Structure 1
Amino acid sequence: MSPAAMLSTLTLFVVLLLPGPSAAASHGQRRPNDLVHLSCVHARYPSLCFRTLASYSGPANPRSIAQAAVGASLSRARSVSGFLRGQALGQGGHLSKREQAALGDCVEQISDSIDQLSRTLRELQHLKGETLQWQISNAETWVSAALTNEDTCLDGFEGVDGKVKTDVGRRITRVARLTSNALYMIVRLDVSRGRPKGRVYP
């Protein structure tokens, strides 16, 4: 599925599941854990979302929750990047050419993902009223691109067997799920800010 199609599907899903205005209006009275539960319950991977944000104690508002979700994905992506580089250096002589190529491509793709998630986090930390919708649209685009890179990394190991594929696959799958949840949080924030329902944004 293309990033635009993925984003369109997720946006529609969020619109259908978002709480009504009365619930949104009460965010200010909620504790952080209450808002985490409300934010995670309809995420694509809710159990992972709950575990990831279980210790969140920051401001009880959707933007801060979205920042925390992106930060969790970014932290995991950096960890995975270190693992991939270690595999490429430490096992280079023991890997097949196919494994070496897939691992090398994956290193680059996760590096791009880290850059996109970093840009997203900076954007969410500096939202301004006059450019709010444009900034959130940027964030959606970058996180969607990061997710595509992570999925592409996994695709590169198709037809490859062995421990390297298993180890890489497990780690990339986890970071991709975190990124998917982060994208949900940003789309949820976007819809709550009044984007027209059903419209596709690149």
Structure 2
Amino acid sequence: MAPAFSLFNLLFIFISFSASPYSAAAKTHNAPQDLVRSSCVHASYPNLCIRTLSSYSGPANTPRDLAQAAVKVSIARARRVSKYLNTLSGAKAKRERVALSDCVEQICDSVDELSRTLGELKHLREETFRWQMSNAQTWVSAALTNEDTCLDGFHEVESEVKDDVKRKITKVARVTSNALYMINRLDESRGRPKLGH
């Protein structure tokens, strides 16, 4: 009886140790993914947030890293859409031409505002943190408004490209919304741990 009991104890200890999420190796290996998942869970578009930030190739070890990564994803998507919109300049109907022209301008403004946000996030300082976060939130909110305005411009347009444009702009707006969420999280964390990262 005693040997069986000892064997059971050893087996239990072995399984407990193996499955422990607190082992150093597991913790180090999974830390960035865990941060992405825990940070994205309350984002406007959590699945999109996890997908885009998990595949991001840069560092994602702090809330600041994630905020920067989210803004970079948004800039990349906005630039792609801007190039696409410029290929549609041969639109025939006047209303469609106006909507496309306005949309190109709005998305260019979004890229500019998101780029300024990224610059601010890269140079956060303790003494100006609140002011810099306010700037970042304002610019990303403006980028989101531009994207919504672009979509509104197509409201009464009937054309073959309308659905495609709306789909692409909606994707940009969703990653931008997630970027704003990440910036708000960073603001709440007061830049911890460590701004000078």
Q: Same fold (TM over 0.5)?
A: yes
1:191 & 1:59 partners in 2: Cα distance? 18
2:39 & 2:184 partners in 1: Cα distance? 11
2:47 aligned residue: 47
Task: Calculate the aligned-residue CA RMSD, in Å.
Answer: 1.6
Identity %: 64
Tell me if 1:134 matches 2:131. Answer: yes
Q: Give the number of the structure with larger relative contact order, counting CA–CA contacts within 8 Å between residues 6 or more apart.
A: 1
1:182 aligned residue: 179
Deviations 1:152-173 (A, max 9, x none): 0000001112221111101000
Alignment of 1:149-160 (within 5 A): 149-160=146-157
Gaps of 5+ in 1: 1-27, 195-202
1:69 aligned residue: 70
Relative to the length of structure 2, the TM-score reads: 0.79
Gaps of 5+ in 2: 1-26, 192-197
Alignment partner of 2:43: what SS? coil
Q: Which amino acid aligns with 2:137?
A: E
Alignment of 1:104-143 (within 5 A): 104-143=101-140
Q: How many residues align?
A: 163
Deviations 1:5-33 (A, max 9, x none): xxxxxxxxxxxxxxxxxxxxxxx977111
1:55, CA displacement in angstroms? 2.3
Alignment partner of 1:37: what SS? helix
Poorly superposed stretches of 4+, deviation over 4 Å: none
2:16 aligned residue: none
1:14 aligned residue: none
1:49, CA displacement in angstroms? 0.5
Q: Which of the pair has more CA radius of gyration?
A: 2
